[in-house]
Amino acid sequence: MFHSWQLLSLSIIYIALLFWVAYLGDKFRHKLFGDRKAIIYALTLGVYCTSWSFLGTTAQSATNIFSHIPIYLGPVLLFVFAWPFLLRIIRVSLQLNLTSIADLLAVRFGKSHSLAKLVTLVALIGTLPYLVLQIKSIVYSFELLQIESTMPQWQLGLIVSLIIVAFTILFGIRHIHVTESHPQMMLAIAFESVIKLTAFVVLAVFVCFFIFDSPIQLWQKADINLNEQLSFPNLTSLFGMLVVVMAAFLALPRQFQVMVVEASHVKDTKYSRPIFILYLTLFAIMAIPLGLAGLMLFGDQVAADSYVLRLSIMEQPGWISLLVFLGAISAASSMMIISSMALSTMLSNEIVFPILFQSQRQQSNYQSFQARLLNIRKLLVLCIIMMGYAAFLVIDPDRLASLGEIAFGALAQLTPALIAAFYWRNASLTGVFTGISVGFSLWLFLNFLPNLGIYDLSLANEYLSSNTGFTLFSLAANTLAMIVISLFSRQSVHERVQATFFYNKTSELSELTPKRLAIDSSELKLLLVKFLGTDTAEECMANFKRQVDNKQLPTEQYNQILIQHAESALATIMGASSARMLIHSVLQGRNINLTELASLIEEASNQQQLKNLSILHSAIEHASEGISIIDKELNLVAWNRKYLDIFNYPKGVVTIGAPIEDLIRYNLSQIYHGQINLEQAVQKRLAYLKQGTPHASERTMNSGQVITIEGNPLPNGGFVMMFRDITTYRQAEKVLKEQNLDLETVVQARTKELKLANEQLAISHQKARQANQKKSLYLKACSHDLMQPLEAARLFTSALSAQNKLSDSQRQQVSNIEQSLKVANDMLSSLGDMARIEGGNIKVNAEVFSLLEFLTQLEDEFTPLVEEKQLDFHVDKVEGWLNTDRHLLRRILQNLLTNAFRYACDGKIAVIVNNKDNHVDIAVVDHGPGISPENQALIFEPFTQLENSDSKGLGLGLNITRAFAQRLNVPIKLTSTTGQGCRFTLSLPTVSSPNLSQPQQKPQSGLQGVSVLCIDNDPEVLAGMVELLSAWKCDVVGVASRSEALAACNRHGNRYEIILADYQLDDNDNGLEVIAALREHCQRMIPAILITATTEADIEQKAKRAKAGYMRKMVRPAVLRAMMSAMLTQTMQDKYGNIHNQ
């Protein structure tokens, strides 16, 4: 026995130790991968062993050494025989980023929000009794081991509950992450698993070898009647309990959390089977001697669930008592922590967050958005634990043990739906929802409420206890209702689409595994004959028999291959879908005669053929050429009206079946009138037709009509003849030839002169083009290569300015450096823009965007400059919508405003917007020195600066502005008077308002704790970016290549929240491809920003297609910070704003 202060001190030390373990897990979480992660994962599965396992199963084994076995045997059997099913759950959950069992079932059955809420409710009610048991066990352990009671139970229970809440919030609800995993918390849970197993095993060894001489002596003194304990009523109870435990294990929220949600990869499970099975086996074995010893030493004088604690204090040393005390605390606290985390995730994701997003406007402030979601999760953890504490105060302590047992029955109601989600494609949302509702309602009225003492109800059956019997009954009713309703209800399209994620990609035919495989080769042959013909069907079956030997294959496999072969043959004439439908109908044994089915398809085919023939006849009849068709017997079978008009046949000559020889003879006699040997000419043309060779000729009729004749053979014999009247073309050709003779001499002379001039011009043009290309390449190289070191310097100075230790003098020097870098950046940016303009790399990417949002962003961008120069700056806020290139328009206004700020040193600057009927005028107005009329055209030329200018630039700004405006087809109008400032006006067409979601607020900063992966092959730029992000309190890792990025993801558990990548990397790699590879590797859409100085065409569009942000170097820290905040916020809204939309 111990004093209260001793137990309290030990508890505080142990809690501090847990905090320290969790802190180490958080600090070194990037090192928790590979085998380390797999071992931690396996140990966290020990959260299954709660205080019921630590204290309650010992009490069960005291009266029957087998009664507690189902508690441990159920999970062992699942890990031995249902391991592929468990892996399948993990794989699908990782692929779809599922965060709870409610999430899984809702996604499987059409993303049903109603089903998610029902599952969450069942999980909450089923878990609450366990929370009460854990609080009771900690309070009871504390009271039992203390010498005198100095604190009432309600106070001790409240302190325990608040400590659990604090620990869960500090290390379990620290971040909102797409995977909802908590590596630091899992390390602490694994540590607690080791503590409680060690305590249990040490106590069992102490009892067997110190309190008793050996386990054999203990067994002999117990005098166990195995025949009685293994009698038929006991066996049925054990079997019934085993079914309930196996069903409940799959649906326990805490078990789903550690087994599925906390797994970052299937590889994490490689040690879990042997370790977890060994873990449960040790608990099951060690409970037997502890239960027997407790019964012999204490009997009925004390509560059976206190045996473990009382055995630990029987003899010295006292450290065993303290170790057992810590084991009991570990068993209870780990369950409370994980269960409250899992339930808070389910309640927030399925109930609170959807309501929140439906009732309030969306936000784009990442920091406040994340803080709000985190606060909701924390509040839910507090509510869940406090609900357990309230139940602890209200429920009769004598009923808590039975409530813990029947709580398994509530969670078991989710298992039929879980199994159907993966193994029954035809299970419907209606069936699953009905099954869970029926089963849970029966459990509630038959089990839960009677055990609360509200009314009495018992099962008059000697083979099963009332709790087990009612649970099995409700589970059976659940399963039956799900099956029956699913068979009589129809799945929605959304359900069928979602089901594809939960099934292996196998052949649809094999999934049918026909209800009727009695069909033999003769039946299939008849089917093939009907559609393929006798010869083709027999050849098809003969090929199959040559390839497959039915004597060497099982009957089922042989029939399966035969069916697939028949389907492939039918698919060649009717398509794969029709062939599969036909085969499926036969195999399923539907009430349709095979001959009728074939006749139906044959009739449809004949109707289609008749329709096609009608279309073909209409096309031939209305053709502009004369057409005649001859069969292989050289008889006329078809013709069109144009054919009759060309040859002007007498009535009765052209008939179906008329010999083509007679028609040829008639035609030649009308053309040549005895000038040739008629019969010889006829036989010559017939010989061409009989040989089946294509031929073409041209004839001039007696009327002067010129006809071209083309003949092409048909595949099965015969010819298609085409006759075209080209009289008009020949007449025009004759006129042109006559005129051409006069022009040829003049053209030849002029052509010779032009050829010489063109050759000289081509040489000059080639030289000029080569010079221009070299200049553009030089400017491009300068703007990109020189930008890299300046980018690094800019990032370092930004990181330096963020420090609070700088003196005013040092801060002024840093500001001067930043200003100089800005000037250099502006010059290089101008050179880069010139290179893009002259190289033709400026492309317009029009999009519809809000004018109000655009102007607001423009004002925000220049606000810091206003504060620095203390100018009066105003931007009109006008609503409207534009359809143009947002980036180019922004560059135009940026250049105009930059000039205005440069020259209007003590005046006013304004962006005036005038929204008219179909267009909007945007004017940049300053009160600077103005521009004289003779210089107003000159200022748009390159490298031009006025004499009164003190600018440090290159004089390219307005030239670039004009080039961008020309690409947008937007005119720039300049109005200026010397001494009164300038007014540059743009006129753009407006468009109607599109259907968009609610306007988003301006993103703000706040990136502390955000995990960032930076990729840049320039060491200085990379170091500068890492320094800048570290100054913002980001958790940043910098790498230089794709391989290093993938290695970092593997090392750090794929937990990066955003990627910043340069475009041009080593080994001809680029940032967009690396971003895509990382997203595929992590199996989720990680936000990413492409940061580059390249002038490559369409780079911004490429980034947009890759769903990545885009920034040009040199990076402005404020803009980068805002973009990161906006993208992270959007990711959160995508995840939680549309949960389970139907």
Mean pLDDT score across all residues of the chain:
78
- Do 122 and 19 lie in one domain? The reply is yes
Indicate if the pLDDT at residue 47 is higher than 90: no
Q: Is the CB of residue 413 less than 8 Å from the CB of residue 105?
A: no
CA distance 874 to 872: 7
Nearest to 388 by CA among 139, 136, 120, 121: 136
Q: 429-443, 513-527, 701-715, 916-930 — which one is most confidently predicted on average? A: 429-443
pLDDT, residue 178, reads 42
- Do 716 and 850 lie in one domain? The reply is no
pLDDT (tens digit, 9 = 90+) per residue, 1107-1133? 898 888 777 787 888 888 888 888 877
pLDDT, residue 426, reads 87
Q: Tell me if residue 10 falls in helix, strand or coil.
A: helix
What average pLDDT does this structure show over 67-72? 88
| Displacement of CA 1007 from its chain's centroid (Å) | 24
What CATH number did the domain enclosing 338 receive?
Answer: 1.20.1730.10
Does residue 60 sit within a domain?
yes
- Do 912 and 774 lie in one domain? The reply is no
- Of 17-21, 346-350, 468-472, 950-954, the least confident: 950-954
DSSP character at residue 922: E
pLDDT, residue 700, reads 79
- Do 925 and 895 lie in one domain? The reply is yes
- Of 227-241, 707-721, 850-864, 992-1006, the least confident: 992-1006
- Do 760 and 719 lie in one domain? The reply is no
- Do 344 and 371 lie in one domain? The reply is yes
Contacts (Cβ under 8 Å, ≥6 apart) of 714: 629, 632, 720
Does residue 792 sit within a domain?
no
Two tokens, residue 992: 């109607």
- Do 706 and 736 lie in one domain? The reply is no
What CATH number did the domain enclosing 678 receive?
Answer: 3.30.450.20
pLDDT (tens digit, 9 = 90+) per residue, 162-184? 988 888 888 767 666 544 567 77
Indicate if the pLDDT at residue 231 is higher than 80: no
User: With pLDDT > 70 as the criterion, what percentage of the chain qualifies?
Assistant: 79
CA distance 376 to 244: 34
Number of domains in the chain: 5
Does residue 754 sit within a domain?
yes
Q: What is the DSSP string of 1030-1077?
A: HHTT-EEEEESSHHHHHHHHHHTTT--SEEEEESB-STT-BHHHHHHH
**Cα–Cα distances in Å, from 616 out to 84, 252, 604, 624?**
58, 67, 18, 14
Indicate if the pLDDT at residue 299 is higher than 60: yes
Does residue 807 sit within a domain?
no
pLDDT, residue 687, reads 81
Indicate if the pLDDT at residue 782 is higher than 50: yes
Does residue 110 come out as left (phi exceeding 0), alpha (psi in the -120 to 50 range) or beta? left
pLDDT, residue 1140, reads 44
Radius of gyration of the chain (CA): 43
Q: Count Cβ atoms within 10 A of the Cβ of residue 143 and give its class: 0-12 exposed, 13-18 middle, 19 or more buried.
A: middle
- Do 720 and 750 lie in one domain? The reply is no
Q: Is the CB of residue 1098 less than 8 Å from the CB of residue 1069?
A: no
DSSP character at residue 252: -
Strand partners, 988: 920
- Do 315 and 246 lie in one domain? The reply is yes
What average pLDDT does this structure show over 322-337? 86
Q: Is the CB of residue 799 less than 8 Å from the CB of residue 1024?
A: yes
Indicate if the pLDDT at residue 800 is higher than 80: no
Confidence class of residue 779 from pLDDT cuts 50, 70 and 90? low
- Do 701 and 762 lie in one domain? The reply is no
> How many other C-beta atoms lie within 10 A of the C-beta of residue 914?
13
pLDDT, residue 1001, reads 42
What CATH number did the domain enclosing 955 receive?
Answer: 3.30.565.10
- Of 676-690, 974-988, 1067-1081, the least confident: 676-690
CA distance 1040 to 1061: 9
Does residue 99 sit within a domain?
yes
Pairwise pLDDT comparison (517 vs 1099), residue with the higher score: 1099
Q: Which domain holds residue 978?
A: 842-989
Confidence class of residue 969 from pLDDT cuts 50, 70 and 90? confident
Confidence class of residue 1139 from pLDDT cuts 50, 70 and 90? very low
pLDDT, residue 511, reads 39
CA distance 837 to 954: 16
Indicate if the pLDDT at residue 835 is higher than 80: no
CA distance 141 to 306: 8
- Of 212-216, 544-548, 848-852, the least confident: 544-548
- Helix 521-532 to helix 534-547 angle (10° resolution) is 140
What average pLDDT does this structure show over 992-1016? 66
Whole-structure pTM value: 0.56
pLDDT (tens digit, 9 = 90+) per residue, 582-639? 666 666 554 444 444 454 455 445 545 555 556 666 777 777 788 888 888 888 888 8
Angle at 29 between CA 25 and CA 35, to 5 degrees: 95
pLDDT, residue 804, reads 66
Does residue 1021 sit within a domain?
no
Residues in the chain, how many? 1142
pLDDT (tens digit, 9 = 90+) per residue, 477-507? 999 999 999 998 887 767 776 777 787 543 3
Does residue 403 sit within a domain?
yes
pLDDT (tens digit, 9 = 90+) per residue, 83-125? 999 999 988 888 777 888 988 898 888 888 889 899 999 999 9
What average pLDDT does this structure show over 729-740? 78
Indicate if the pLDDT at residue 366 is higher than 70: no
Pick from 678, 710, 725: which residue ends a domain? Answer: 725
Does residue 1034 sit within a domain?
no
Task: Reduce the secondary structure of 706-771 to three states and give it as a string.
Answer: EEEEEEEECCCCCEEEEEEECHHHHHHHHHHHHHHHHHHHHHHHHHHHHHHHHHHHHHHHHHHHHH
CA distance 899 to 929: 12
- Do 227 and 241 lie in one domain? The reply is yes
- Do 632 and 570 lie in one domain? The reply is no
pLDDT, residue 944, reads 64
Indicate if the pLDDT at residue 1022 is higher than 80: yes
Helices (H) and strands (E) in the chain, counts: 45, 17
